[in-house]
Structure 1
Amino acid sequence: MTDVRPRTSRLPVPPNRRRLVAVVAGLVIAVPIVAAHVVAWIETEFALDQLARGLHGMAEFIGDAVPPDLSRSVVEQGLQGCVVTLAIGLLGTTFSIPFSLLLAFLGARTTTRAPLVYQLARAVMSFFRAVPDIVFALIFVTAVGLGPFAGVLAIICHNTGVMAKLWSETMEEVDPGAVEPLRTAGASGSQIAAHVVLPSVVPQFVGLLLYRFDVNVRSSLVLGLVGAGGIGFSINQSISLFRFDEMLTYILMVLVFIIAVDLLSGVVRHRLARP
């Protein structure tokens, strides 16, 4: 008996289009990245051979700095500079809180429904974040003179923009289900913020505040290099006077100082994170 069923011919297996698409997508992403790095290499005049030629000068510089000057006057000046640096970071962080809180409320969709107010608040945040704190320090040095007061004002301005953005994004992550009933009942933005948003985000707010305090203390070191006081000002003076052994002493003190601030803020954040 003959088989009368129609024979089915096997169709050729199509090529693996997924793999081809993945390769093309990888090239589309990789080529611009590589090109950007090539341009950056050229624009920054990155040259390892130039670094190798300069190693002799670096060795002489380190030789002039070692051993550090541990005389009493230098150590006392360094300790005083560390205290001023800590004070700049502390006051700059604390005095920026009310401005950051106001901008965060105005720049969060959870508490602000007016698009114009929201966009204006976001623009102000962007401005304060875009201008580096060292630029603010240079501006305030010309206004109030050399000293830590200019550093405090610079930290206030820059930290207001950064912290307002962090806090506003935290507020926008609040569960909408807790906000909508009050909004439907006709509650204002300030009432929603006071009764729902703030109680939900206080731990995150405090954690971000401690993080910014840590960053601001580091920033105040750099601000001292432009005349805003603190240990950075002492480092700048010792370099200008070619007293590299004093410079090394101040740098070692900065290292201990930063480690202590890191440990302290880490302990506080860890305790806040506990349920």
Structure 2
Amino acid sequence: MTVLSREAPRLPVPPKPRRTRAQVIGWIVAAVVVAAHVVAWRATDMSLGALVEGWQGMADFLAEAIPPDLSSEVLGDGIAAAAVTLWIGLLGTTLSIPASLVLALLAARGTAPGRGTYQAARSLLSFLRAVPDVVFALIFVTAVGLGPFPGVLALVCHNVGVMGKLWAEALEDADPGPAQALRSAGAGRIQVAAHALLPTVTPQLVGLLMYRFDVNVRSSLVLGLVGAGGIGFLINQSIQLFQFDEMLTHILIVLVLVVAVDRLSALVRHHLGSST
């Protein structure tokens, strides 16, 4: 008896999955990012070999900087200069509040009088943010001379651009309910801003202000390197005179100052967050 062999039915071969548009775009973006890093690596003359070969210079530098000079004269000068750095950051933050608030109201869609004013305020804020505070400091140093004053002016100009934008975005993200209620009652833009928007976003505005104060204290250190006073000026002077032990002392003082300001800023922001 013969058994007829039957071939097993062939299952259809599933089609190859096609790459979606999002996957293609993802691969293109990844390739562009890798290519940009390759170009940047070559353009900036990155060389790990040069870093390894320069270990002797770094070792000599650390040997001359350690231990730091903790003499009373160096510590006294450093602490006094650190206080100046703190005051530069404080004034650069607080003196920028009026202009930042006005530009924020003009650059927020809900409070801007018109589209032209909105675009003009946004453009001014973009310009003030685009110019680094160091460039502002160099300009003001040539205008009013060396010292803390040009540092304060530089921080005010740059901080208005940054803080005005942050505050404008906070105003745009505010709860529209109270503002709409006042508008329906016939209130004007200034009344809506004063009695509805600003009270609603005050904790956010103060939190952003404290954050900018933290950043400005760090920035005032860099401004001192270009002649705007503060402990940055002493650090630059110590490097130029090859007094690296004094430089390390000033850096340690800066570390204590930055940590203290950071903790104060974080404490205030935490208090504001817990009270809302």
Query: What band does the TM-score fall into relative to the shorter chain?
Result: over 0.9
Relative to the length of structure 1, the TM-score reads 0.92
The SS at the match of 2:109 is coil
Give the RMSD, CA atoms, in angstroms: 1.6
2:145 equivalent to 1:152 = no
Cα distance in 1 for partners of 2:244, 2:255 equals 16
Output aligned runs, 1:201-216, within 5 Å: 201-216=201-216
Q: CA shift at 1:180, angstroms?
A: 2.9
**Structure 1 pair 42–35 and aligned structure 2 pair: CA distance change class (3 A):** same
1:25 aligned partner, one-letter code: I
Output aligned runs, 1:126-165, within 5 Å: 126-165=126-165
2:16 equivalent to 1:15 = yes
CA deviation string 1:61-85 (max 9, x = no partner): 1111111111111000000011000
2:98 equivalent to 1:67 = no
The SS at the match of 1:187 is coil
Q: CA shift at 1:186, angstroms?
A: 4.2
Q: What runs of 5+ residues in structure 2 fail to find an aligned partner?
A: 1-9
Match of residue 167 from structure 2:
167
Q: What runs of 5+ residues in structure 1 fail to find an aligned partner?
A: 1-8
Q: CA shift at 1:232, angstroms?
A: 0.3
2:225 equivalent to 1:225 = yes
Q: CA shift at 1:45, angstroms?
A: 0.9
CA deviation string 1:194-242 (max 9, x = no partner): 1110011000000000000000000000000001000000001111111
CA deviation string 1:102-158 (max 9, x = no partner): 000000001114000000000110011000001100000011100000100001000
Relative to the length of structure 2, the TM-score reads 0.92
Which has the higher mean CA deviation after the structures are superposed, 37-46 or 184-193? Answer: 184-193
Match of residue 104 from structure 1:
104
The SS at the match of 1:109 is coil
Cα distance in 2 for partners of 1:21, 1:190 equals 48
The SS at the match of 2:28 is helix
**Structure 1 pair 193–65 and aligned structure 2 pair: CA distance change class (3 A):** same
2:70 aligned partner, one-letter code: L
Match of residue 3 from structure 1:
none
The SS at the match of 1:68 is coil
**Structure 1 pair 268–177 and aligned structure 2 pair: CA distance change class (3 A):** closer
Match of residue 114 from structure 1:
114
2:236 aligned partner, one-letter code: N
The SS at the match of 1:226 is coil
Which has the higher mean CA deviation after the structures are superposed, 190-199 or 171-180? Answer: 171-180
Q: CA shift at 1:190, angstroms?
A: 1.1
Match of residue 57 from structure 2:
57
Report percent identity of matched pairs.
62
Q: Answer whether contact 2:175 2:200 (CA < 8 A) is retained.
A: no
1:130 aligned partner, one-letter code: A
Match of residue 5 from structure 1:
none
Cα distance in 2 for partners of 1:62, 1:12 equals 68
Q: CA shift at 1:21, angstroms?
A: 4.3
Q: CA shift at 1:13, angstroms?
A: 3.8
Cα distance in 2 for partners of 1:186, 1:21 equals 50
